[in-house]
Structure 1
Amino acid sequence: MKLVRTVPALGKREEDQLNRLYTTVTAMQIIYSGLGYTEKIGPKIQALFEKYPVAQQFKNSMGFPELWKHEILLFDI
């Protein structure tokens, strides 16, 4: 699974974001699917962002990429 990368500051290198919620959510989906469940976590996470709009401003710091709603791992696309 490809991890979300950091946006490096000038003079620093890009690194994997290992301590981000998005990475944990995708890992949970892989485990969930491996256990034979077919439901996707993405719509539930999206519903939480809609229910609590203040969280929208923190998506980037949680490691969610801009096009996370198009991730086939999390959504039935």
Structure 2
Amino acid sequence: MVKTEDLIDAQGVAGLLRLSHANSVSTYLRRYPDMPRPVLDLGAGRPRLWLRPQVLRWLRSRQSEPLSVGDDS
């Protein structure tokens, strides 16, 4: 069961990853194949939602490795 309060959009993911733009989340999805995928993706130009606990778990697992946090190229 999904708790609605755990759902975050690309802006929320960008905030957790310390990215300056929500669009940079797409770059991270391509760059890091192990990054959690949205649990809801309504297609191009439409909302995508992630589960905050999954993103936080992934971020913690990457802290021992260099992660391009803030690199939103």
| Normalised-by-shorter TM-score class | 0.3 to 0.5
Question: Could you tell me the TM-score, scaled by structure 1's length?
Answer: 0.33
Q: TM-score, normalised by structure 2?
A: 0.35
